[in-house]
Amino acid sequence: MIRVEQVSKTYGSVAVLRQLCLTIPPGGKTAILGRSGSGKTTLLRLIAGLDRLDGGEIYLGDRQVSCPQHYLPPHQRGIGFVFQSPALWPHLTVQQNIAFGLAHLSKTEQQERIEPLLARLAIAPLIDRYPHQLSGGEAKRVAFARTLAPRPPFLLLDEPLSNLDQGLKEELLTYLQDYLDFTQACTLYVTHDLAEAQFLTSDIQLLRDGQLVPHSNP
């Protein structure tokens, strides 16, 4: 479960989030729509622990991970984060990037995680390449594989399919849906594309004026 209670965040004199509340049940999927600058990425960064909130509380499962007096570092939150840009480690090969979060597993277990991702995302021929040798679509596939390989219990996606052609969008969305059906990861998907949101879930929220409202009643 992801639970956000009365969360506020202000940058300078601009209140980006205003006592925002959100609950995603275990295994649930929620999509958030909103204009650029509405605070969608800010919300994800607060949940991930990349930024600190000004007020309210955030829970992952039964753990309180953020409040004004308490802050759990990102690497202790069990979160997978697919950013808008691939954000791959430039000095690591494709295989090394995907294996980055699997150091706790044996080499055999790592390969058991990595090989199905290489096959399903059609990136097996790229394993020895470095990020600068990849196209934009290839880098996005690798970013998905790196985030999903550890099978995080909580998954955050920040407009992960932006600037991709329609065919690749549909392919990655279909794979993501299959992956979530298998792992039951609690998922928050941020997008500006209603069709993407509708493909993934019926729980669609609109972020406006620092708060969430159901998309069916904007």
Q: Are 131 and 66 in contact (CB under 8 A)?
A: no
- What is the rounded CA–CA span in Å between residue 29 and residue 5? 18
Q: What angle do CA 195, 143, 33 make, to 5 degrees?
A: 30
**Residue 188, CA distances (Å) to 17, 30, 93, 96 in order:** 17, 5, 28, 26
For the chain, domain boundaries: 1-78+152-218, 88-150
Residue 104 CA neighbour count, 13 Å, CB half: 4
**Residue 168 confidence (pLDDT) above 90:** no
Residue 175 pLDDT more than 80?
Answer: yes
Task: Report the residue count for the chain.
Answer: 218
- Please report the pLDDT score of residue 177 as a whole number: 93
Over residues 71-109, the pLDDT tens digits come to 999 999 999 999 988 989 999 999 999 999 898 999 999
Q: Read off the pLDDT of residues 114-166 as tens digits, 9 standing for 90 and up.
A: 999 999 888 999 999 999 999 988 999 999 999 999 999 999 999 998 888 88
Beta-strand (E) ranges in the chain? 2-11, 14-24, 29-33, 55-60, 63-67, 70-71, 79-82, 154-158, 186-190, 204-208, 211-214
CA distances from 77 to 14, 21, 68, 71, 74 (A): 28, 19, 17, 10, 5
The one-letter amino acid code at 42 reads T
30-57 residue pLDDT tens: 999 998 889 999 999 999 999 999 999 9
Q: Which pLDDT belongs to residue 218?
A: 45
pLDDT tens column, 179-217: 999 999 999 999 989 999 999 999 999 999 999 998 874
The answer to whether the CB of 49 falls within 8 A of the CB of 74 is yes
- The angle subtended at Cα 195 by Cα 194 and Cα 199, nearest 5°, is 115
**What pLDDT is recorded for position 151?**
94
Residue 22 three-state SS: strand
Model pTM greater than 0.85? yes
Quick check: 67 pLDDT over 50?
yes
Contact 187, 30 (CB under 8 A): yes
If you average pLDDT over residues 163-175, what whole number do you get? 87
Q: Out of 7-11, 15-19, 120-124, which region has the weakest mean confidence (pLDDT)?
A: 120-124
Give which of 70, 34, 25, 77 is closest to 52, Cα–Cα.
Answer: 70
1-78+152-218 folds as Rossmann fold (3.40.50)
